[in-house]
Structure 1
Amino acid sequence: MDFTMPQWGQIITLTFIAIALGMDAFSLGIGVGMKRISLRKITTISLTIGIFHIIMPLIGIIIGHLLGNVIKEIAVMVGGGMLCFLGMNMLIQLLKHKERDSIHIQSITSVVLLSLTVSVDSLSAGLSLGLFASDLVLAILLFGFVGMIMAAMGLYLGRFVGYWLGRYGEAIGGIILILLGSKFLW
């Protein structure tokens, strides 16, 4: 299966966005994983986050497509601006040194709330992508898969490393989103 240069470019761009969005799940996963949760709980949380990383951007992409029809002329700039805003927001939250409260994952409700929390950024990114001509299926599958894998890595690594690794991961994710968004602004 041969891909053209624009197809490769889209795959690479969507992968970077998926990784940037997955950094939040990775970071939070480290904090939760430090409680030495079971491998079964790691699997449950990771799968739920993966599902939410599919649902939330899908909703955003649908809304973005609808808005894209209304604001065709400025859609690319608006989408790029939203990615930059999302990345800057991630960095601002880190600079505020806002420590996350201790999270106790003991019920399916807490797993769903955790998954929703780390997937909200995916809604905004989906909205931005909906304004572009992007491959819907590729985007949501990448977001879901990468979100699930990064959550699992964070949860597992959290059993062995400290909170500092998660903060660096979020910073990298914010920078990636700013760089990708600024590409569409110029």
Structure 2
Amino acid sequence: MSPFSILLLGFAMSTDAFAAAVGKGAAMRDPRLPEALRAGAIFGTIEALTPLAGWALGIAAAPFVEAWDHWIAFVVLAALGLHMIVASLRQESQAEAAPAETGKRHGLLALAATGLATSIDAMAVGVGLAFIDVNILVVAAVIGLCTLTMVTAGIMLGRALGRLVGRRAEAVGGLILIAIGVAILHEHLSGAA
């Protein structure tokens, strides 16, 4: 993977966390930068650890699926991308029907639970990355830093932007994941030809 692809992957993996952060920022009472940084650090740490766990699982399975590794990476990334797009569309219709939340603070446990929920896709990406030649520590660090940045910005922008931008960011992240999967597949197929 090129450095640009790794950076795009980092931002794609952070878009669902960004969407959650915009929602949390909109629900928080006057979010401050230290609160936003704390949430960003929690989300970023979790988002950096989950691809490592997925990669370890993928490495264990790699010898058994080596002939199809590029197809597996493509299918995992494309499926996650489609899931993110569909989820963003579903959330949009549910948000229209849901009443507005009152302003509140969010505790460490609630932030960690949300961070874990938004990082499940990063674990699946880690599994897919085990089948291609990539430095997983660099990828995990980039994903974590992108998530820290996006969540911090999402919380600070949440009050002003509301939930609309967050849902659209998740759909864009899904499109990016699909594009990365297509690029991996193309790279392997054109190299084999």
Scaled by the length of structure 1, what TM-score is found?
0.88
Structure 1 stretches lacking a partner, 5+ long: 1-8
Counterpart amino acid of residue 26 in structure 1: F
The one-letter code sitting in structure 2 at the alignment partner of 1:64 is G
Q: State the match for 2:190 in structure 1.
A: none
Runs of 4+ in 1 over 3 A off after TM superposition: 97-106
Q: Which runs of 5+ in 2 are unaligned?
A: 187-193
Query: Which SS does the other structure have where 1:159 is aligned?
Result: helix
| Equivalenced residues, count | 178
Q: Does 1:24 align with 2:19?
A: no
Q: Deviations over 1:120-164 (max 9, x none)?
A: 111111111111110122111101101111111111111322221
Q: Which residue of 2 aligns with 1:137?
A: 137
The residue number in structure 2 matching 1:86 is 80
Aligned to 2:37: 43
Does the CA contact (< 8 Å) of 2:88 and 2:168 recur in 1?
Answer: no
- Cα pair 1:104 1:110 within 8 Å, conserved: no
Answer yes or no: is the 8 Å Cα contact 2:89–2:167 preserved in 1. no
> C-alpha displacement at 1:104, in angstroms?
5.8
Partner of 2:94: 99
Aligned AA for 2:66? K
Q: Does 1:119 align with 2:119?
A: yes
Please report how far the alpha carbon of residue 42 of structure 1 lies from its aligned counterpart in structure 2 after TM superposition.
1.1
In structure 2, the residue matched to 1:12 is 4
Cα deviation for residue 171 of structure 1 reads 1.2
Residue 60 of structure 1: which of 54, 57, 73 is its match?
Answer: 54
Partner of 1:3: none
Cα distance in 1 for partners of 2:124, 2:178 equals 13
Q: Distance in 2 between matches of 1:40 and 1:62?
A: 34
Determine what percentage of the aligned residue pairs are the same residue.
22
Moved more, 98-107 or 128-137: 98-107
Given that 2:36 and 2:153 are in contact with CA atoms closer than 8 Å, whether structure 1 keeps it comes out as: no
1:162 and 1:170 map into 2 onto residues whose CA distance is 14
Superposed CA offset, 1:103-127 (max 9, x none): 9653221121011111111111111
Give the conservation status (yes or no) of the 8 Å contact 1:58–1:126. Answer: yes
CA distance in 2: counterparts of 1:98 and 1:124, whole angstroms: 26
**3-state DSSP of counterpart to 1:163:** helix
Distance 1:50 1:141 in 2: 9
Show CA shifts across 1:37-79 (max 9, x none): 2322212111001100111011011111111122100011111
What RMSD, in angstroms, separates the aligned Cα atoms of the two structures?
A: 1.8
Instruction: Tell me, in whole angstroms, the C-alpha distance in 1 between the residues paired with 2:52 and 2:38.
Output: 21
> Letter of the aligned partner of 2:118 in structure 1?
V
